[in-house]
């Protein structure tokens, strides 16, 4: 496992099954609750780039960053083309399936509607979600060519203005997007409204732009092919 600091950027390489490798890095502080076996890693204003394989079990640990939002490809939290970020843990026993719950990470610095962003997954990068919440104050972009596998994820917008969640795949790359089971739930902090979607068939579509607003969620319909179910 390896986390390294340089000039305001923390880079993860290799394989990490928790966040303990962050301990001791410049700008990082840790709050641990021994009786709960739970730790919160505050990255301060450091950006996080994931180049290896990182798994975050939100029932064990989480991180928060106040890194400045930025233009692609350098947003607050970035999964690079060689990287894999998995939020949550799926447990299967016989026919029973359990997903973890809790917050995996928070990107707290405010961004714009669709440019200065909080979370970025590059083409070739992989994002998996098996039971977690991520809270963002800026846009999230899943770039065309990235691999997206979501079985249970909540994205919360706590910016007090509109903020986009973008899945930008097109053509044959749409086969790299899978949103199944409990799907992707969009919500605004303090809101009683929520929109949930799944991809029920892997058919071609041009693009999906998900507009996540604090008190309501407006989801633009794709131009063709994908089927979205609301619950």
Q: Indicate if the pLDDT at residue 223 is higher than 50.
A: no
CA distances in angstroms from 118 to 28, 46, 66, 135, listed in the order given: 18, 12, 10, 9
Q: Confidence class of residue 192 from pLDDT cuts 50, 70 and 90?
A: low
**225, pLDDT greater than 50:** no
Predicted TM-score (pTM) of the model is: 0.86
Separation of alpha carbons 105 and 81, rounded Å: 20
Please tell me the predicted confidence (pLDDT) of residue 115.
Answer: 77
Neighbour tally for 126: CB within 10 Å: 20
Share of the chain above pLDDT 90, in %: 55
Instruction: State the average pLDDT over residues 7-19.
Output: 97
Question: Count of CB atoms within 10 A of residue 92's CB?
Answer: 8
Residue 118 and residue 130: Cα distance in Å, rounded?
20
Domain ranges across the chain: 2-219
pLDDT over 90 (residue 121): yes
Here the tokens at position 4 are 């390294």
């Amino acid at each position: 496992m390896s986390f390294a600091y340089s000039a305001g950027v923390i880079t993860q390489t290799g394989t990490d099954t928790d966040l303990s490798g962050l301990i001791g890095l410049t700008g990082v502080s840790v709050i641990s609750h021994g009786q709960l076996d739970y730790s919160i890693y505050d990255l301060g204003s450091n950006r996080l780039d994931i180049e290896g394989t990182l798994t975050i079990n939100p029932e064990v640990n989480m991180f928060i960053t106040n890194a400045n939002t930025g233009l692609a490809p350098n947003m607050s939290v970035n999964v690079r083309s060689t990287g894999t970020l998995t939020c949550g843990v799926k447990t299967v026993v016989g026919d029973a399936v359990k997903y973890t719950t809790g917050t995996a990470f928070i990107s707290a610095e405010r961004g714009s509607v669709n440019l200065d962003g909080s979370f970025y997954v590059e083409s070739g990068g992989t994002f998996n979600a098996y039971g977690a919440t991520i809270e963002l104050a800026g846009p999230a972009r899943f770039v065309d060519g990235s691999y997206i596998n979501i079985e249970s994820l909540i994205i919360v917008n706590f910016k007090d203005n509109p903020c986009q969640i973008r899945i930008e795949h097109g053509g044959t790359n749409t086969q790299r997007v899978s949103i199944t089971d409990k799907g992707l739930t969009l919500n605004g902090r303090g809101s009683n409204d929520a929109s949930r979607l799944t991809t029920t068939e892997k058919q071609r579509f041009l693009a999906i732009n998900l507009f996540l607003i604090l008190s309501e969620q407006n989801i633009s319909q794709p131009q063709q092919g994908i089927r979205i179910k609301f619950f």
